[in-house]
Amino acid sequence: MVKKEEIILASEIVPLIARKAEVTPIVLSVNGNVASGKSTFAKRIKEMIEKLDNNKEVCVITTDDFLLSNQQLHEMNLFVDKGFPNTYNYELINRFVNALLSGEDILIPQYDHKINDIDFTKRKLINHPDIIILEGLISSRKEFSQIINKSIFINVNEKDNYEWYLRRCLDLNLPALYDLSVTDFLPIAKRNWKLTNWRNFIDNVLPLRSKADIQVYLDHNHQIWKVEVGTMST
């Protein structure tokens, strides 16, 4: 059975699908904290759109692809703030936005969570898709505002969010990447969550929440339990 919340969400997406993208693709942004389910939700939206109209080409792009490389961050003494707004490649972001606005193709590098870094051996060609789902920490920032048609903010409980973050770290086997045992890794992960991820969320991501067109609330099982439409009063 289709849930009421999914119907509300679909009713907001359908008008976008019906629009004919001429030069610039339709762009839907998905924002929220690290490990809040943005990537999974973006894939669900992609699947929803393709079921509604399988003639539409839908492309999911993560703003992680616009991060500066670890080497660059170390050279700039910014590695501890990775994910903060000042750790992104804004020259690349500007080229990406301008390419979409002018209908040009663009190649962008890809971020690989398995190595926790940009993988410059992998490139993604953005070639006139009908719809782009842009998900990530900075997807609602002003640098992308010219191209965003609809914005979604993912809301999750802080305890659930931390558990999902930790599970992702372990699923990616990050302790082995840093030559650590799981026991030694856990306090480091917790400190990184508090000092970097949560601080970045409070300072730089949460302030953008009120500007989102749609608020989506996820429960402990990553299921949608509430959808609110309309920007929040500030």
- DSSP code, position 88: B
Question: What region, left, alpha or beta, does residue 97 occupy, with left being phi > 0 and alpha being psi -120 to 50 degrees?
Answer: alpha
Query: Domain extents for the chain?
Result: 4-229
- Dump pLDDT digits (tens) for 64-87: 999 999 999 999 999 999 999 999
The neighbouring-strand residues paired with 134 are: 29, 61
pLDDT in tens, the chain (234 residues): 457 777 788 888 888 777 765 668 999 999 999 999 999 999 999 999 998 888 899 999 999 999 999 999 999 999 999 999 999 999 999 999 999 999 999 999 999 999 999 999 999 999 999 999 999 999 999 999 999 999 999 999 999 999 999 999 999 999 998 999 999 999 999 999 999 999 999 999 999 999 999 999 999 999 999 999 986 644
Angle at 184 between CA 178 and CA 187, to 5 degrees: 105
C-alpha closest to that of 36 among 214, 206, 184, 183:
206
> Structure pTM?
0.93
Distances (CA, A) of 176 to 29, 83, 113, 114, 179: 33, 22, 13, 11, 5
Cα distance between residue 200 and residue 182, in whole Å: 25
3-state secondary structure of 219: coil
Neighbours of 129 (CB within 10 A): 18
The residue written with tokens 């590098």 in the block is 109
Neighbours of 131 (CB within 10 A): 24
**Domain boundaries 4-229, corresponding CATH code:** 3.40.50.300
Cα distance between residue 20 and residue 57, in whole Å: 12
